Amino acid sequence: MQLEKNVSLKSFNTFGLDQHAEFFTEVSSAAELIETLTWADENNLPVKILGGGSNILITGDIRGLVIKVNIKGITPIEETDTNVLVKVAAGENWHDFVQFAISKGWGGIENLSLIPGTVGAAPIQNIGAYGVEIKDVFQSLEAVDRSTGRQVVFDGHSCRFGYRDSFFKQDGRDRFVICAVTFRLSKTPAFQLSYGTVEETMHELGYVEPTLKAVGETICFIRQQKLPDPSKIGNAGSFFKNPVIEKTHYEKIKNEHPTLHGFPVGDGIKIPAAWLIEQSGWKGKRWGTVGVHERQPLVLVNYGSGKGRDLLYLSQSIQKSVFEKFQISLEPEVNLW
């Protein structure tokens, strides 16, 4: 174990926040992870697990140990004429894995192209976009139980997937560290094109019929138009979840604001958090070195030297405004450190 002290996390989080970790190390295997967690326990150090740093807001310097999971590997473990089970290590870049799957002709995750972060973080958040979620292709995962130091396997039922949610954000929070995820991908994909402008944009880009490559490139194009590049301006993508509200509440708002569009989810209606934020007057608003993106109000940005606590205060101010105007509570999608 190579341990570093007082390490800047600026290059390890997509907000580009220059906070420091008291101790920092990287692990490249499950065995190394277990050894490192044991050392931290023996030294009474709190632990934070870091993936791609694309879904966290660091609000101050981190006391204790930050472990970056850098376990690599993509391994097909079972294959039929129609499906493939592929085991992917937690440290693999998510978008790179999607591109790999597309190149192999394995379908099911092409709509999740260009989502930042690592494979290990994907089930925690049950990442999703354009009508597809991780749970749709999930088979199982392997994780280290920090309370016992042993590896355990979770199936889909055990993960309790919800909208941008899972067991690992609720009862299992901070207890399990994911080492690998196994996906069931299709050799005969059923394309999901009905969400948003996917099909229309695909045709505008010159694709007549859907293919894995066509859909993947279309999703990348759409995301690049809507979301800022973290390498150019610090951000963590969508900061808030799209809320699900009761139908009566939706109809009341819709009567007053005809531009609102919602989507049925169970007994409720899911509405765009971006619309709520824009209607509350926050789109493009800048507070010093942080602000709300000028094109996508769901994205909070760091213009260079912003602090995590400034972004936190901004997010709380947005929540307050939206609740006062619409009586809707926005829930952060980003994890607070």
Q: Which of 166, 238, 280, 315 is catalytic?
A: 238
Is residue 252 classed as helix, strand or coil in its secondary structure? Answer: helix
Beta strands in the chain (DSSP E): 4-8, 20-27, 47-50, 56-57, 62-69, 74-79, 83-89, 128-129, 132-133, 138-145, 150-155, 176-186, 234-238, 244-246, 263-265, 268-270, 286-287, 290-292, 299-302, 335-336
Helices 212-226 and 94-104 cross at an angle (nearest 10°) of 150
How far, CA to CA in Å, does 83 sit from each of 164, 173, 191, 296? 26, 32, 15, 37
231 C-beta neighbours (distance < 10 Å), count: 8
Residue whose token pair is 């929070």: 173
Tell me whether residue 238 is one of the annotated catalytic residues.
yes
Contact between 238 and 330 under an 8 Å Cβ cutoff? The reply is no
Pick the catalytic residue: 164, 166, 217, 280? 164
CA distance 119 to 52: 9
The one catalytic residue in 26, 133, 217, 333 is 333
Structure tokens at 275: 């619309």
Beta-bridged to residue 154, according to DSSP, are 141
- What's the rounded Cα separation, in Å, for the pair 268 and 248? 9
Distance CA 112, CA 215 (A): 10
Q: How many residues does the chain have?
A: 337
- Tell me the two tokens of residue 183: 């996906």
Encoded amino acid at 103, one letter: S
Buried b (16+ CB within 10 A) or exposed e, 117-132: bbbbbbbbbbbbbbeb
* Amino acid identity, position 54: S
Closest CA to 16 of 184, 212, 197, 231: 231
Please list the active-site residues: 164, 238, 333
